[in-house]
Amino acid sequence: MSLAMFFQLFGGLGLFIYGMKQMSEGLQKTAGKKLKQLLGMLTNNRLVGLLVGTGVTAVIQSSSATTVMVVGFVNAGLMTLTQSIGVIMGANIGTTVTAQLIAFKLSQYSLHAVAIGAALYLFSRSDRVKQLGQVILGFGILFLGLTIMKDTMKPLRDSALFVDVMQKFGESPLLGLILGAVMTVMIQSSSASIGILMSLLSVGVINYWIAVPILLGDNIGTTITALLSSIGANRTAKRAAFAHFTFNFLGAFIIVILFYVIPNFAELIHNTVLKISHFFGQDPTAERLLANTHTFFNLVNTLFWLPFVGIMVSLVKRVIPGDEITIKRGLNFLDERMLETPIIAIDQLKPEVLRMYQIAEEMVKESTRAFLDNDPELIKTVNAKEEIVNELEEELVTFITKIHRNSLSAEDVKIVDMYYAMIDDIESIADDAVDIAELARYKRENKVVFSSEARVTLENNFELIYQLLAETNKIIETRDLTLSKKILAGEEQMDQHQLEHRNGHLARLGQGICDPNAGIVYLEVLDSLEHISDQMADITHSIIEVKKRNK
């Protein structure tokens, strides 16, 4: 291969990948939020998960985007491991739409699409039209890159060395499987590797029987993206990514074994796919036949493994042992149907608000432990829980605004207002916990060291905050005003501690005992703790106000 041919091939590949990326991004901008909401509403019904995974991937034209999204949802607790496997199986089917798209003879319209797409993207004032332009532009660039790759590969038909190497892969399906996997890992796109494969097939450099094992290898290679995205995620997310790899690997490996075990197995696949194509009224070209094989394989593989999702879950749990970590998202105790009876809706607000508070309470404890122990996993946990608290705040506020106040008594209106104020206070506590977690991250990364005196004062203040958190939890649950004195006294004590420790810290700085960098972190932690105590005092005042008015 000459240097010019090399740059033409990889230039075409670059255009293909860039076009695919633009098309995928445009589609995600257009429908991404709704698709994420759809994924978030999934039940444990694996068939529903399969259909959703297929549909989402077909729309956004990227199985990698779908699986990375799924791993992210699992990591955040929005989706269980069992749900994720169904969606991932569906993504494998949805991604075959790309190969079907490539098999259409649309290259002659690539520049038309580029011209129209660029015009819409550059000159339109409407975001929706711009997104449509990005999709059309990506579509055109994709086929332009495909055309360049095909034209570049035509001379390879006359290369005895290249044809001989390809023939070796044809004689050894296992080598073809490895080649496809490696190629996809290298370029991080199964669609791009399939595009190369179909270009080679269309110009006659390889035949169908050589292409099939490489195609199966592409299916394995595409799982690497999800595996990489699970690095640093929780154990359940790692399991979801590994389940994706296991599902694709076992399906492809079993087919390759059958190549060796069953005589003329490749011919059997060819004839089967050909008959199915004819059944649907197609007289397939070589590219279409390979695209149909891709769809057929992923469909059969999915339908075969779908009843055994439970077994796959058990398998990945054995490979990645430990307790499954998921946090239930969304509202647990409220239902829109309760709005028809506002008084019941108000009663159900308490357990939901209490649950939100308890998550924020856990965040404070975890962030302070992360600060003392330099624990990066606890920092990740706190950040993940912040998203849950923010979602709960949004959903609770939305629910409260839908309560018909006209049908409530004055006392009940005050209770609703109390919960509204509490939700804001709780969200602020969660924000302070995140601030402490970020200080813990800074302390760890910059190797900040405190004096023994500073560490002891921080530990004492953490203990005081833990006590106030427990008392506030009780007063939300019971509305027992005898607890209010402890909480309000504790808040005043925290104010006093902040002042005393600030002065003590300045004295230590003057004596050269404390590192100035540590001092900044120390004071910021105290500020966050003092603000947390203020929020707990505000919650207490809200309860006192309601109790007084209802006397």
Q: pLDDT by residue (tens digit) across 421-464?
A: 999 999 999 999 999 999 999 988 888 887 787 788 889 999 99
**Range from 12-16, 171-175, 329-333, 476-480 that averages highest in pLDDT:** 476-480
- Across 487-519, b (16+ Cβ under 10 Å) vs e yields bbebbeebeebbeebeebbeebeeeeebbeebb
Over 90: is that where the pLDDT of 337 sits? no
Residue 352 near residue 389, CB atoms below 8 Å: no
Over 60: is that where the pLDDT of 128 sits? yes
Residue 226 near residue 244, CB atoms below 8 Å: yes
Backbone Cα Rg of the chain = 30
Confidence grade of residue 324 (pLDDT, cut at 50, 70, 90): low
Region 367-388: what's the mean pLDDT? 89
Q: Which of 86, 84, 362 minimizes the C-alpha distance to 236?
A: 84
Collapsing DSSP to helix, strand or coil, 449 comes out as coil
**Range from 131-145, 149-163, 417-431 that averages highest in pLDDT:** 417-431
Sequence letter at residue 187: I
Average pLDDT, the chain: 81
Over 90: is that where the pLDDT of 468 sits? yes
Apex CA 212: angle with CA 207 and CA 213, to 5°? Answer: 120
Confidence grade of residue 93 (pLDDT, cut at 50, 70, 90): confident
- Tokens in use for 91? 């993504």
- Report the range of poorest mean pLDDT among 46-60, 283-297, 407-421, 536-550: 46-60
Residue identified by tokens 């660029």 is 118
Contacts of 287 (CB under 8 A, 6+ apart): 102, 103, 198, 201, 202
Q: What pLDDT, on the 0 to 100 scale, is given for residue 326?
A: 54
Q: How far apart are the first and last CA of the chain?
A: 90
Q: What pLDDT, on the 0 to 100 scale, is given for residue 344?
A: 73
Over 70: is that where the pLDDT of 354 sits? yes
CA distances from 119 to 28, 29, 60 (A): 20, 18, 22
Q: What pLDDT, on the 0 to 100 scale, is given for residue 514?
A: 61
Q: Which of 504, 494, 502 minimizes the C-alpha distance to 529?
A: 494
d(CA 114, CA 110): 6
Residue 218 near residue 91, CB atoms below 8 Å: no
Q: What pLDDT, on the 0 to 100 scale, is given for residue 327?
A: 57
- Report the range of poorest mean pLDDT among 309-323, 348-362, 496-510: 496-510
| pLDDT > 90 in the chain, percent | 19
CA distances from 429 to 110, 436, 443, 471 (A): 54, 11, 21, 15
Q: What is the 3-state secondary structure of 45-114?
A: CHHHHHHHHHHHHHHHCCHHHHHHHHHHHHHHCCCCHHHHHHHHHHHHHHCHHHHHHHHCCCHHHHHHHH
Confidence grade of residue 276 (pLDDT, cut at 50, 70, 90): confident
Over 70: is that where the pLDDT of 209 sits? yes
Region 212-228: what's the mean pLDDT? 82
- Report the range of poorest mean pLDDT among 58-62, 131-135, 358-362: 58-62
Residue 87 near residue 66, CB atoms below 8 Å: yes
The model's pTM is 0.57
Handedness of CA 229, 232, 237, 238 (dihedral sign): positive
Residue 86 near residue 126, CB atoms below 8 Å: no
Taking the C-alpha atoms of 547, 407, 392 and 333 in order, what is their torsion angle to the nearest 10 degrees? 90
Q: What pLDDT, on the 0 to 100 scale, is given for residue 474?
A: 94
**Range from 180-184, 240-244, 360-364 that averages highest in pLDDT:** 360-364
Superfamily, domain 336-549:
Phosphate transport system protein phou homolog 2; domain 2 (1.20.58.220)
Q: What pLDDT, on the 0 to 100 scale, is given for residue 360?
A: 95
Q: Which of 312, 296, 194 minimizes the C-alpha distance to 247?
A: 312
d(CA 104, CA 297): 20
d(CA 133, CA 112): 12
Q: What is the 3-state secondary structure of 324-385?
A: CCCCCCCCCCCCHHHHHCHHHHHHHHHHHHHHHHHHHHHHHHHHHHHHHHCCHHHHHHHHHH
Q: Which position has the higher pLDDT, 340 or 1? A: 340
- Report the range of poorest mean pLDDT among 103-117, 157-171, 349-363, 483-497: 157-171
Q: What pLDDT, on the 0 to 100 scale, is given for residue 77?
A: 58
Q: Which position has the higher pLDDT, 263 or 249? A: 249
Q: What pLDDT, on the 0 to 100 scale, is given for residue 7?
A: 86
Contacts of 18 (CB under 8 A, 6+ apart): 138, 141, 145
Collapsing DSSP to helix, strand or coil, 41 comes out as coil
- Tokens in use for 222? 């595409």
Domain ranges, ordered by start, for the chain: 3-319, 336-549
- Report the range of poorest mean pLDDT among 109-118, 136-145, 237-246, 326-335: 326-335
Q: What pLDDT, on the 0 to 100 scale, is given for residue 338?
A: 67
Over 70: is that where the pLDDT of 328 sits? no
Confidence grade of residue 369 (pLDDT, cut at 50, 70, 90): very high
Confidence grade of residue 139 (pLDDT, cut at 50, 70, 90): confident
Region 60-76: what's the mean pLDDT? 67
Confidence grade of residue 473 (pLDDT, cut at 50, 70, 90): very high
Over 90: is that where the pLDDT of 286 sits? no
Region 402-409: what's the mean pLDDT? 78
Residue 50 near residue 87, CB atoms below 8 Å: yes
